[in-house]
Structure 1
Amino acid sequence: MLLEDFEALAAAAARHAEEPRLEFLGGKMGVKAVRGGVHSEIVMWLLRQCMRQRPELSLYGDRGVKVETYRKGRAIPDGALAPTGHFLRSGEWADPDGVLMVVEVTSYDRDTSQRDRVDKPRAYAESAIPVYLLIDRDSRDVTVHSEPVDGVYQERHTVPFGKTLPLPEPVGFELDTEPLVGWTALAEG
């Protein structure tokens, strides 16, 4: 599929709020499931953590980002941490320059393993986004990827839900994941 064809299709789908969101990674179109209640609560919890610890930054939800250098991918992370006002002049798909961290919360759809654990870390690292945070509800842990070099994050640190995870610079704060323990027991809604 050509990038231009994907962007036209994604724009058409975005006009319908009840429709899933489309992404383009590794030259293939994928569907990102619409969030459920627990997923949304986790993103809001992280937003509050970012606001409290780094008030000069904003965690933008569902912000389209241009990723990958070779295939010119398009991703919609659950969160993109950047200086407040960073996306004011960007279009539907923003350049990754200036994005400090992207966040994904795993969903219960069929391709979340490939997309969130393989494709997106590669795409984000290839785009030189300094930090990728994966909140993995299946394995009940949080992984921070950092130091992207040649399309691969060189550092990776994982803690189980309930532990504190230091987020490296340029994010630079500790994330207490205790609230995630109770939420993962809830059925998605």
Structure 2
Amino acid sequence: MTPMTADRPQMSVEEFEELASRAPENVRLEFINGKVQVKPVTDGDHDQIIAWLQRMCMQHRPELWLYGERGMKVERYRKGRARPDGVLAPFGFPKGHGEWSDAPGVLMAVEVTSFDADTDRRDRIEKPDGYAAAGIPVYLLIDRDDCSVTVFTDPEDGRYRRQLKEPFGASVKIPVPVGFTLETEELKEFVG
């Protein structure tokens, strides 16, 4: 394993993929900004939000599918690996990809915050940068901490140039290439 310094990853991407392939079923590992991170196991409300979003996507864009926990190659520089809560892509997108897919073809990455200490850094800072660096056009963050939905768009130079944050209950327009509006009133049911 490679020693960790400020500018070097904890390990190579190949070492990470080997480690991730051997992780127990109840553990999800990600490799973001050169560091191995444990993605928390989801709770029922988290899963229901993803199911709700999947239903909304099917209603508005039936030719697409919201793939849950799809392994994605992100971050060109450090060859990161992430497991978004969902990726919206044409139906059939992951066919033949193996465990980790390249980003071309993905229209939107989705994360729903978890109630753990790392969610701020992971979902609000590192993931947007990783998804933008991979060229994913839209990142949708459903934030259960402050009951909001944030749409990040226009990736450029590893960052999203625009973001729109709305409270649960608002109509949230997700621009092209996704191209539909989410009515988020129902999200209020999934926070306690």
The bucket for the TM-score relative to the shorter chain is: over 0.9
Deviations 1:10-29 (A, max 9, x none): 0011xx32x22000000000
Q: How many residues align?
A: 182
Question: Where does 1:155-166 land on structure 2 (aligned, <5 Å)?
Answer: 155-166=162-173
Identity %: 55
Distance 2:150 2:50 in 1: 15
Q: What residue number does 1:64 align with?
A: 71
Worse overlay, 126-135 or 1-10: 1-10
Q: In the alignment, does 2:104 pair up with 1:97?
A: yes
Report the Cα offset of residue 75 of structure 1: 0.2
Structure 2 portions without partners, runs of 5+:
1-10
Q: In the alignment, does 2:155 pair up with 1:148?
A: yes
Report the Cα offset of residue 2 of structure 1: 1.4
Distance 2:36 2:159 in 1: 22
Q: TM-score, normalised by structure 2?
A: 0.93
Deviations 1:88-111 (A, max 9, x none): 111100000100000000001111
Q: In the alignment, does 2:46 pair up with 1:39?
A: yes
List structure 1 segments (4+ residues) > 3 angstroms apart after TM superposition.
none
Instruction: Please give the secondary structure, in 1, of the residue aligned with 2:22.
Output: helix
Distance 2:189 2:94 in 1: 34
Q: In the alignment, does 2:117 pair up with 1:117?
A: no
Q: TM-score, normalised by structure 1?
A: 0.95
Distance 1:183 1:72 in 2: 34
Q: In the alignment, does 2:177 pair up with 1:170?
A: yes
Q: What residue number does 2:8 align with?
A: none
Report the Cα offset of residue 182 of structure 1: 1.9
Report the Cα offset of residue 50 of structure 1: 0.2
Letter in 2 for 1:99: V
Deviations 1:121-148 (A, max 9, x none): 0000011100000000001100000010
Letter in 2 for 1:147: D
Letter in 2 for 1:12: R
Letter in 1 for 2:72: V
Q: In the alignment, does 2:81 pair up with 1:80?
A: no
Distance 2:190 2:43 in 1: 12
Instruction: Please give the secondary structure, in 2, of the residue aligned with 1:29.
Output: strand
